[in-house]
Every structure is written in structure tokens, then in C-alpha cells.
Chain A
Amino acid sequence: MRDRSRGAFIGAFLAPALGVYAFFVIYPFLQAVLFSTYRWRGLSQNKQFVGIENFRNLFSDPVFWQAVKNNLWLLFVAGAIAIAISVGVATGARGKSLLSRSLRGVYLFPQVISLVVVAILWYFVFSPEIGLLNGGLRAIGLDSLAKPWLGQPSTALAAVGIAFVWYVSGFYVMLFAAGIQSIPSEVFEAAELDGAHGFRRFRTVIWPMLWSVKRVAVVYMVINVMNVFALVLLMTRGGPDRKTEVMLTYLYEQAFTNSQFGYATSLAVANFVIIMALSLGILFYFRRSPMEARR
């Protein structure tokens, strides 16, 4: 009797959340795999099973590869820069000075405002007419350097990358600051006694001890980068000439502009596989703590 009421209670309390989750998250997720094997323009009677044809087309689609390349550029160039900046700032802001305290108040601002605001803001920084950057260059007499930053293929991706770094850095500052804080103060004192200061102390003591935080940071960066959508859509729409196209903007275009729903879903599946592959690769790379390895 008692046991039955316990079981009923567990079931009743789990049911609403699990039901909504199963129907609106798990079910569409499984459907996505199925949809990727269809040629389908949105009208159910025209749904046609084509097996792996979408993927074959995907792999011979130059725009897909361009988008993958841009995502990887954002990961390995913009992401690496963001992490480097964050580690530097987190290390520098360790103290209790007025500067580091005020910095701690503001560094998450870009992270909590909408990505839409971030995109529009940086669109105007780089905009040719009312742009902050061109306005500044003209003001100091460097008119010749003023450019349509988002409109020319050579600079568009870098401009999007800067906006991306601005948006994500705060999160990683927070992560690394917490990691540094968790290093026992004896370690710092011991390093001090051994004569390790400044950058040397950072390289030989702090950096290796941040191992587990680094792993988390890199996995998050992968998810962050593969999730880039609004930023590109609102800054450049993937242009000029697909130079800033990322996987999710291409997915959006294929699905909701071209009505190629099957093809778009195969893009989603490919995106997911890339996330899994990169994440597993990272977990494998960071599988053992450098502290242990030295023993």
C-alpha cells in the first residue's frame, strides 16, 4: 500500500515535465533524423524517401563546406582569441583593487543582453554610413582606411568574429576566474617562494592547474560556435558572397526560404554530428589531468 502510493507519487510528479519534454524535444529530435532522409518541400503528399541522397548532395555542396569552414574559423580563431583574452582578464582581475571589482560588475553585460542587440550594435559599429568605426577613422584623419567592413568579402567574417568575441568573452572570464579562485592560496605562496612571478608563474603553475576548467570552456565554445545564428543573420545575412555563412543560417535559408525541408534537416544532422565529434575529441584530448601525468 505504502509502496504503491510512493510509485504513483513519483509517476505523477514526473509526468508533466517528462511528457512535455518527450513530445516537444525528444520527438522532434528523432523526427529530424527521419526527415533528413526525405526529399520534401513541406506538403505532406510530396514527402519522398530518398535515403542518403540529401547527405550526398550536402557533401558536394560548396556552400555547406563554406559554412563548415566559417564555423571552424569562428571556433579556432575567434574562439581561441576569446579564451586567451578571458584567461588574461581572469588572471589579472584576481585582486581586490577597485579596477578588478568594477570589472566584475560589468563583464557579463554582453552575455545577458539579447544576441539580437549584440548583432545590431555591432552592425552599426561596422556600418559604412553611421558606423562608429568609420566615423572614428575619419575623425582622426584616416579616411582612406574607412571601409564597408561588413560588405566586403575580405573583412566581413573578421567583423562578425569581433562581435562574437565581444559577446562570449564574459562567460569565459567568469569560468576561468572561478577556476583560478579554486586554486589553493598555498600554491601561489609556494610559487612565490620558488621565485615564480608574473607570466612564469602563470605558465608553470596557474595554467596547468586550470585543466578541468579548460576542458569545460572548450566544450562550451564548441556548442557556442555551432549555435551562432542570430549574430550572422542580423549582421550580414551570411554575405557577402557567403563569406560569413554559418551552418545554422544556411539551414534557415534552405528550410524557410527555399522550402527544402529534407535537405535543411540533413544540415541539422550534420551539425549535430560535428558537435558530437568535436566534443568527444576534446574530452579525449583532456582525458587525463596533467597533474596526474607527472607522477
Chain B
Amino acid sequence: MTRAVSTTLLLLFGFAVVLPLLWVLMSSVKSGHLIVSSPWAPPDLSNLAVENFSNAWSKAGIGRAFVNSLIATGATLVFLMPISAMAAYVLAKYEFRGSKAILATFLGGMMFPHFLVIVPLFFLLRDLSLLDTMTGLVVVYVAYSLSFTVFVLTGFFQVLPNELGEAAMMDGCGHARTFWRVMLPLARPGLLVVAIFDAIGLWNEYGLALVLLPSAENRTLPLGIANLTMTQQYQSDWGALFAGLVIVMAPVLFVYWIFREKIHETMLAGALKG
């Protein structure tokens, strides 16, 4: 009895999660006409509307937004990972006055919605002439990813054995050389997971980009697809819109699928310790 109830519950939940996503996938290869006239119908397999994807990519500007998102995510990681790893290493392996307070300050950034500071941030970037520039967005992304990244990396460095670092120091390596040559390579698996985790969040980010990148040519994917929804209501190319949704989702779902075990661990570590 209990078993039947729990099986039904799990099945319902599974369908609820997967069906809407399958519907998007299905609609992305249906003609605009078919999407409107019969939303539940499967696509016409003999005549898949694959042109939806090329329409989304070139005509609807999703291709350009895709490249912008790649740049924003990639550039953020390039700056974020080294400076986070450096700070996390020092916070994990060196005892000094104020280290607890600094870690707590980084942690504090995880406790409030970043959108709350959007007004001061908007004017700060305006005063630095970084508003509506990719540089500005990347700097902001680095800053607002630090909390989580430093926090999780500190945990990784804490569990690395001290002996290896000490041995390197004995052999005459300085503090910095010990870090770059010995400790950082040891932490590589941790760095990779955190980077993937950050990448997914950055790829999906909407609120900050909405305010900080007002003009069309800089749009990242979430902005591009949101904008497409609004203009599509006049042009009614629903097929291209659904293809666009697939283009936004596919990379993260793919990356998630490959690293899902590690991502679970990291999310849990972040949630339960924080």
C-alpha cells in the first residue's frame, strides 16, 4: 500500500519534471503553425522543422547572444578561479589575525539577493564608464561569484594534507611557489567542479545582465531569449523561439549530465555548511 503510493508519487514527480522540458524540445522541431494549432501534437517526423534552429541562430540573434554568453562566462572564470584559489588557499592554510572575519565577510555575500544592490552597482559602473560593456559585466560577475567560490575552495584546501606543502617549503620553495607548483595542482579536481558550477550559474544569469547591458549587441543568451519572447508576439515565429530555448538549455543540461555526481556533492557542501 505505502509502496504503491510512493511509486505513484515518484512517477508523477518524474513526469512533472520531464514533460515540460520534452514539450519544449518537441515544439522546437514543429512548424509555427502546428505549435499554435495543436500544442500537444508530436512533431511531424517526416518533415521536422529544423530550420527553426537556423532562424533562431541567425535571424533572431541567438547566435550572437550565444557568443556573448560564451565570452562572459569564459572571461569571468579566467579571472575568478585564480584569485579565488589564492584567497582560499591563504584562508585555509595560514593562521593570521582576521582570517575568520575575512571568510565570514565572503560568506555574507551568499546570504542576500544580489539584485538588492542593483541601483548602487548601476551608478558605480556608470561612473567607471563600464556600463553596457562586457568588461563591466565580467567584473561584476567575478565579484558576485567570489563568495561561493572562495567558500567552497577553502573547504577543498582545508582537507589537503599539510605535509606536501611543508616538504616543498623545506626544499626551498617560497610560499607562492609552493602554492603554484604543489598545492594548486593537488586542488585541481575541486577547482574543476567549482568552475563548472559557477559556469552554469553565469550562463543562466539574468537580473544583473538585464540592468548592466542595456543595448542589443551585448546581449547574453538569457537576455536574447527573453527579448525574443517579447518580439515574437508580433512576428509569431514560435518555432524559432522554442529552438532558442533549446539552444539556451542544451549546453547546461549536457554539462550537468556529465558532472552530475560532483555537482550534487558541491551543491550539498555549499548548502549544508553555509
Interface residues of A (CB under 8 A from B): 5-7, 9-10, 12-14, 16-18, 20-21, 23-29, 31-32, 35, 42, 85, 88-89, 91-93, 99-100, 102-103, 105-110, 112-117, 119-123, 125, 129-132, 135-136, 139, 166, 169-171, 174-175, 178, 197-199, 213, 216, 220, 223, 226-227, 229-230, 234, 248, 251-252, 255-256, 261, 264-265, 268-269, 271-272, 275, 279
Contact = CB atoms under 8 A, between A and B. Distances in A.
Ranked 3 nearest A-B pairs via Cβ: A24-B143, A114-B204, A198-B2
A108 B260 contact: yes
Contacts of B9: 88-89, 92
A220 B120 CA distance: 25
B253 interface: yes
A92 B117 contact: no
Contact of B222 (A103, A114, A171): A114
A108 B105 CA distance: 29
B260 A105 contact: yes
Contacts of B84: 17
Q: Is chain A's binding surface mostly helix, strand, loop or mixed?
A: helix
A279 B108 CA distance: 13
Contacts of A269: 116
B160 to A, nearest CB: 16
10 contacts: A13-B179, A14-B90, A24-B144, A25-B146, A107-B13, A120-B225, A229-B207, A234-B226, A252-B118, A261-B123
Nearest to A88: B9
Q: Binding site of B, secondary structure by majority: helix, strand, loop or mixed?
A: helix
The interface centre, meaning the residue of B13, B109, B226, B248 with most chain A CB atoms within 10 A of its CB, is B13
A18 B87 contact: yes
B109 A21 contact: yes
A121 B245 contact: yes
A135 B35 CA distance: 11
